[in-house]
């Protein structure tokens, strides 16, 4: 647990990296806009403001998520990361709205661009900064199972791709003189940002709703438990959920009634150890039951009382 919290605390330096990159991008892209007057570059710069707000939120939530469990939060603070991810997705959608409004205005009142070459060069440097930081955050997010860093990395990579589109659009305006192409590109950027924002918000909502572990991890879990089922051990009421980087697995393990408490306990210890080998940052809850006790089959569902009531109604007792 101490190692887990230490890793979570170490993630804050990546949030600071993201904040630094956002400030550099705002400065560079803002300068590119003032040089060229391109609404496409303005849209790119506005996303830099979103990056700064999102990175600041990520730093705050990662700080909270690194706190150890206490009496009021017995399962820890891992879910704080979903608030950061959700806020980032929402900010992305707001930025897309602002870009869309600016682009529509420019579409009906286009204006010629100035110093296109210099503006493109500055914006290209800013995009390379975002690319490097995005790759770094993506690696850290996968390594430490951080939904916050993964969301930030995807957001920055989206920024890289949209910046590429903006650069191509602005360059095309400079070559063709067709000024309406600039706001058209900005509208395409806004649409792509909406897609990214919706995906990030959706993932955050699923996390807050205690969604089960992803299929790849549940398949691994199934293979481990399958080895025990082959020996005659029965397992039911299996449930999984994820809270940030922390995973939770619970199950009922049913053994012959003649087993001693010691034998049953040793079995549960082996099962839990095998699960921890395949799922990092997992907390496993096991409940031992007897094959010879009919009550062992009454609590398969989440709400045992409701299940007992339903069975009683089905049997008419």
Domain of residue 33 covers 2-208
Q: Of 155, 196, 146, 125, which is closest to residue 55 (Cα–Cα)? A: 155
Picking from 181, 208, 235, the residue at the C-terminal end of a domain is 208
Q: Are residues 146 and 47 in the same domain?
A: yes
- The rounded distance, in Å, linking the Cα atoms of 237 and 248 is 13
Do residues 129 and 24 lie in contact, with contact meaning Cβ atoms separated by under 8 Å? yes
Domain with 239 in it: what CATH number?
3.30.70.1350
Task: Please compute, for residue 57, the number of CA atoms within 13 A of its CA located in the half-sphere on the CB side.
Answer: 21
Picking from 150, 175, 208, the residue at the C-terminal end of a domain is 208
Q: Are residues 138 and 31 in the same domain?
A: yes
pLDDT of 295: 79
Q: Alpha helix locations (H) across 109-180?
A: 116-144, 147-176
Q: Are residues 196 and 252 in the same domain?
A: no
What pTM was estimated for this model as a whole?
0.55
Angle, in degrees to the nearest 10, between helices 147-176 and 12-36: 10
Domain with 171 in it: what CATH number?
1.20.1510.10
Q: Are residues 204 and 80 in the same domain?
A: yes
**For residue 57, what are its two tokens?**
């939120």
pLDDT of 2: 44
Do residues 11 and 140 lie in contact, with contact meaning Cβ atoms separated by under 8 Å? yes
Q: Are residues 126 and 266 in the same domain?
A: no
Q: Are residues 126 and 192 in the same domain?
A: yes
Q: Of 199, 188, 194, which is closest to residue 151 (Cα–Cα)? A: 199
- The rounded distance, in Å, linking the Cα atoms of 162 and 123 is 11
Picking from 183, 208, 233, the residue at the C-terminal end of a domain is 208
Q: Are residues 227 and 178 in the same domain?
A: no
Spell out the per-residue pLDDT of the chain, length 317, in tens. 445 445 555 677 887 888 888 888 888 888 887 787 777 777 677 767 777 777 777 777 777 777 777 777 766 776 676 776 677 677 778 777 777 777 787 778 777 777 777 777 888 888 888 889 888 888 887 777 676 777 778 778 877 877 777 777 778 777 777 877 777 877 877 787 787 778 777 777 776 777 788 888 889 999 999 999 888 889 988 999 877 667 889 999 999 988 999 999 999 999 999 999 988 778 899 999 998 888 777 777 666 555 555 555 555 54
């Amino acid at each position: 647990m101490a190692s887990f919290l230490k890793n979570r605390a170490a993630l804050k330096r990546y949030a600071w990296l993201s904040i630094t990159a956002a400030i550099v991008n705002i400065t560079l892209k803002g300068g590119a806009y003032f040089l060229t007057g391109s609404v496409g570059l303005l849209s790119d710069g506005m996303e830099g403001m979103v990056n700064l707000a999102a990175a600041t939120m990520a730093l705050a939530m990662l700080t909270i998520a690194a706190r150890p469990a206490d009496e009021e939060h017995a399962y820890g603070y891992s879910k704080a990361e979903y608030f950061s991810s959700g806020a980032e997705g929402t900010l992305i959608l707001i930025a897309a709205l602002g870009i869309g409004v600016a682009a529509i205005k420019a579409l009906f009142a286009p204006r010629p661009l100035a110093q296109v070459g210099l503006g493109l060069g500055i914006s290209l440097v800013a995009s390379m900064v975002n690319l490097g930081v995005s790759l770094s955050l993506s690696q850290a997010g996968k390594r430490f199972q951080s939904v916050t860093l993964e969301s930030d990395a995807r957001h920055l990579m989206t920024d890289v791709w949209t910046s590429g589109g903006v650069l191509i659009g602005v360059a095309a305006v400079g070559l063709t003189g067709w000024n309406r192409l600039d706001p058209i590109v900005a509208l395409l950027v806004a649409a792509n940002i909406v897609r990214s924002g919706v995906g990030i918000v959706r993932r955050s909502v699923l996390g807050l709703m205690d969604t089960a572990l992803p299929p790849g991890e549940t398949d691994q879990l199934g293979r481990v438990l399958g080895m025990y089922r082959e020996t005659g051990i029965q397992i039911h009421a299996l449930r999984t959920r994820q809270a940030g980087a922390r995973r939770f697995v619970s199950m009922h393990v049913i053994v012959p009634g003649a087993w001693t408490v010691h034998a049953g306990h040793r079995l549960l210890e082996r099962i839990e150890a095998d699960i921890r080998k395949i799922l990092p940052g997992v907390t496993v809850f096991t409940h031992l039951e007897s094959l010879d006790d009919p009550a062992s089959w009454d609590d398969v569902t989440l709400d045992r009382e409701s299940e007992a009531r339903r069975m009683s109604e089905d049997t008419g007792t």
